[in-house]
C-alpha cells in the first residue's frame, strides 16, 4: 500500500490513525464565547423530489435561506475549513468559517452548523449559520490525559441535550449544545467499554423514538491501523434515562444488536420504511492481518422497535463481487444510493431498492470509476455527490428523474462531509 492509497484508506477509516500521518499546517481557532440561541433536534435533509428543471423546487424564493455546509480539506491534508454554499444563489460558496486542521466533519441541529474536530483536534465548534465571522464557542472534548478523544458524531435530543461519540475513548459523552461555559458542556457519559477489550470504536449515532442507536465497529487495535476482525454492534439506549436497552440480539452478555457485517458506517433512519440502515465495508482496505474473506460487508437493515435485523444486499465474496460497499444514502422505500469501491481513487455510484435489496444495473457514466468522497440528500431534491480530483466539488442528481444536473458545484478544497440547514 503506497502513501496515496493509505490516505484514501484513511479517509474512510478511524481518524485516529489518519492523524498520525497528516502534516499540520494551521492551528484551529480556539474561542470560547457564550451561547445564546435555541435549536430543534437534528434534522434529516429531505424535500420535494417532484417537478422538473434545476433546481426542482422552482423559483429562487423557494430556496431562500437554504444552505449547505461543507467540511473540506486541502489536497495535502495540511488544512481544512467549513464552507457555506447558498442554494438560492446558484449553489455557490458565499462564505467560509475560520480555518482548521484537515480532520474535520460537519453536523447540524437544524439551526447551527457544528464543526467536529477529530483526531488531535478534539473540539466541537458551533458557528452562526448566517454570519460566518461569528464563532459561538469551541469546547474541548478531551478527558484528563493526552490521548485524543477523536469525536465522530452528534445526535441531538433537544436544545440542551445531545450525545457525542468519541472513537478514542470508551466513554460516550452526553453534552449540552447550548452551554454558555466550557465547564457546562459535558453533562454526563455512557460507558461502552464492555463492547471490546481495547476500544469499542463508536462512530455514528441516531435517535429514533426516544432511543439512541450507537454504531460500534469493534476493530482490532494495531500500532498503525485498525482491523475489522469481528462483527460490529449497535448499542441502544433510552434517551430519557440514559440506560442501555437489552435488545436480546447480542452475544456474550452484550445487550446491543450483533450485526451480520463488519466495519460498518452510514447509520441512518428512513421514515418511509420505518427501518434503520447501515453499510458494512468489510476489509475493503485489504489488510493482510486478516486471512478470512475480505468481503464481509453489505447493507443491513434493523427494525428500531423489535431490533430484528437482516442483510438485504450482500457485498459478495473475494471471487464474486461488484466492489466493496462504502456508503449508502436512503431516499425512500424504493430508492437508495450506494458507493462501491474497487481500488484507490476508483469508486462508483449505484442505485438499489431498499425494500427488496435489488441492485440496479443502470449507472450514470460520469459517476463511475472516480474518487467519491461523500454523498447526501439535499433539501433541493438532489443527491449531492462529493468528488476529489483536480477540480473538486459536487455533482448533483435530480431525485425525481435520476438525471445528472447540468452544472457542477465547485469547491476550492476537497469536500469530505456536508450538512444542510433549511428555514
pLDDT digits (tens, 9 = 90+) for 396-415: 999 999 999 999 999 999 99
Please compute the mean of the pLDDT values over residues 249-256 and round it to a whole number.
Answer: 98
**For position 59, what pLDDT does the model report?**
52
pLDDT of residue 17: 31
Query: What pLDDT does 223 receive?
Result: 85
User: Strand locations in 128-261, DSSP E?
Assistant: 135-140, 151-158, 161-166, 171-175, 186-191, 202-208, 211-216, 220-221, 226-227, 233-238, 257-258
Of 133-137, 283-287, 385-389, minimum mean pLDDT range: 283-287
* Distance of alpha carbon 193 from alpha carbon 214, whole angstroms: 13
Q: What confidence score (pLDDT) does residue 62 get?
A: 85
* Average pLDDT across the chain, whole number: 88
CATH code of the domain in which 408 resides: 2.130.10.10
Instruction: Tell me the pTM.
Output: 0.86
Residue 116 confidence (pLDDT): 99
DSSP line for 6-37:
HHHHHHTS-HHHHTTTPPP-SPPP--B-----
pLDDT at 276: 98
d(CA 224, CA 229): 15
Cell numbers 474561542 correspond to what residue?
31
Cell of 165: 461519540
Share of the chain above pLDDT 90, in %: 82
Q: Quickly tell me which residue has 483536480 as its cell.
A: 390
Q: Band of the pLDDT at 144, cuts 50, 70, 90?
A: confident
Q: How many domains does the chain have?
A: 1
pLDDT digits (tens, 9 = 90+) for 29-65: 333 333 333 323 343 333 333 333 444 444 567 899 9
pLDDT of residue 226: 87
- pLDDT, residue 315, reads 98
CA gap 189, 170 in Å, rounded: 10
Beta bridge partners of 396: 384
pLDDT of residue 60: 66
Question: Residue 22: is its pLDDT beyond 70?
Answer: no
**The predicted structure's pLDDT at residue 164:** 99
Nearest-angstrom CA–CA distance, 141 and 42? 20
**What is the SS3 assignment for 235?**
strand
DSSP string, 31-86: -B--------SPPPP-----S-SSSTT-SHHHHTT-EEEEEEE-TTSS-EEEEEEE
Q: Read off the pLDDT of residues 146-168 as tens digits, 9 standing for 90 and up.
A: 799 999 999 999 999 999 999 99
Cis peptide before 94 (omega within 30 of 0): no
What pLDDT, on the 0 to 100 scale, is given for residue 11?
40
Comparing 35 with 314, the larger pLDDT belongs to 314
Calculate what percentage of the chain has a pLDDT beyond 70: 86
Q: Are 298 and 325 in contact (CB under 8 A)?
A: yes
Higher pLDDT, 20 or 210: 210
Domain that holds residue 317: 3-421
Amino acid at each position: 500500500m503506497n502513501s496515496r492509497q493509505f490516505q484514501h484508506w484513511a479517509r474512510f477509516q478511524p481518524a485516529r490513525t489518519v492523524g498520525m500521518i497528516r502534516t499540520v499546517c494551521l492551528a484551529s481557532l480556539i474561542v470560547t464565547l457564550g451561547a445564546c440561541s435555541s435549536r430543534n433536534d437534528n434534522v434529516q435533509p429531505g424535500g420535494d423530489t417532484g417537478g422538473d428543471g434545476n433546481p426542482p423546487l422552482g423559483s429562487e424564493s423557494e430556496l431562500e435561506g437554504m444552505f449547505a455546509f461543507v467540511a473540506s480539506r486541502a489536497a495535502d491534508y495540511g488544512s481544512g475549513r467549513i464552507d457555506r454554499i447558498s442554494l438560492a444563489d446558484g449553489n455557490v460558496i458565499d462564505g467560509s468559517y475560520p480555518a482548521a486542521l484537515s480532520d474535520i466533519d460537519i453536523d447540524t441541529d437544524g439551526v447551527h452548523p457544528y464543526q467536529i474536530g477529530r483526531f488531535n483536534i478534539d473540539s466541537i465548534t458551533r458557528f452562526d449559520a448566517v454570519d460566518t465571522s461569528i464563532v459561538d464557542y469551541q469546547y474541548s472534548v478531551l478527558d484528563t490525559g493526552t490521548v485524543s478523544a477523536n469525536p465522530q458524531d452528534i445526535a441531538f435530543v433537544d436544545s440542551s441535550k445531545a450525545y457525542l461519540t468519541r472513537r478514542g475513548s470508551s466513554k460516550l459523552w452526553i453534552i449540552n449544545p447550548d452551554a454558555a461555559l466550557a465547564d457546562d458542556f459535558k453533562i454526563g457519559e455512557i460507558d461502552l467499554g464492555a463492547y471490546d477489550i481495547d476500544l469499542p470504536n463508536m462512530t455514528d449515532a441516531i435517535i429514533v423514538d426516544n432511543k439512541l442507536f450507537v454504531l460500534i465497529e469493534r476493530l482490532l487495535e494495531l500500532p498503525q491501523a485498525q482491523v475489522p476482525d469481528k462483527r460490529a454492534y449497535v448499542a441502544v439506549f433510552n434517551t430519557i434515562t440514559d440506560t442501555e436497552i437489552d435488545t436480546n440480539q447480542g452475544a456474550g452478555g452484550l445487550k446491543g444488536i450483533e450485526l451480520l457485517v463488519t466495519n460498518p458506517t452510514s447509520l441512518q433512519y428512513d421514515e418511509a420504511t420505518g427501518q434503520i440502515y447501515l453499510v458494512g465495508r468489510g476489509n475493503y482496505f485489504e489488510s493482510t492481518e486478516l486471512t478470512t474473506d475480505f468481503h464481509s460487508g453489505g447493507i443491513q437493515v434493523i427494525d428500531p422497535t423489535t431490533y430484528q435485523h437482516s442483510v438485504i444486499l450482500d457485498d459478495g465474496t473475494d471471487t464474486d463481487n461488484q466492489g466493496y460497499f462504502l456508503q449508502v444514502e436512503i431516499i425512500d422505500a424504493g430508492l437508495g444510493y450506494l458507493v462501491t469501491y474497487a481500488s484507490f481513487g476508483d469508486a462508483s455510484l449505484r442505485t438499489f431498492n431498499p425494500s427488496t435489496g435489488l441492485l440496479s444495473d443502470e449507472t450514470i457514466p460520469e459517476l463511475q470509476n472516480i474518487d467519491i468522497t461523500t454523498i447526501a440528500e439535499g433539501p433541493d431534491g438532489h443527491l449531492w455527490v462529493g468528488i476529489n480530483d483536480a477540480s473538486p466539488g459536487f455533482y448533483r442528481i435530480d431525485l425525481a428523474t435520476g438525471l445528472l444536473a447540468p452544472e457542477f458545484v465547485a469547491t476550492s478544497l476537497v469536500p469530505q462531509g456536508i450538512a444542510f440547514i433549511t428555514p
